[in-house]
Amino acid sequence: MGEGELIPARVVEAPWLRRLDYAGQDLSLVLESRLGLTRITGELMMAAPTVPPPGAAFGVALLQSIARFTWDGETTYGMTERSSLVTFVEGLKERRTENI
């Protein structure tokens, strides 16, 4: 596949799903490894959300999207998929009922 050593890393900053934007949202992330911190910039290019119907007692919002990522001078496009309970997503919190 690629050249060089595969170095384990952990995520220290992640683009959590808090809003259902269709484009322009910052998807940047920061990884930490023995080499230090690595920032990968990302931008949401287009998205297709899936949300539970209004009044659902429980639900998960899903955002599948195309994103542009740049790292160390190289840019690529790829797919991202993020999800969150509707109680954490702006505009969906109010759609939840209280009969959980």
SS3 12: strand
| Locus of tokens 């259902």 | 20
User: CB within 8 A of 45, min separation 6: which ones?
Assistant: 23, 65, 66, 67, 68, 77
The CA distance from 72 to 95, in Å, is 42
> pLDDT for 24-83, tens place per residue?
999 999 999 999 999 999 999 999 999 888 777 678 999 999 999 999 999 999 999 999
Structure tokens that stand for 65 in this block: 């999207």
Q: Read off the pLDDT band of 93 (50, 70, 90).
A: low
pLDDT value at 100 more than 50? no
Q: What is the pLDDT of residue 27?
A: 96
The more confidently predicted of residues 91 and 93 is: 91
pLDDT value at 98 more than 50? no
Domain ranges of the chain: 19-84
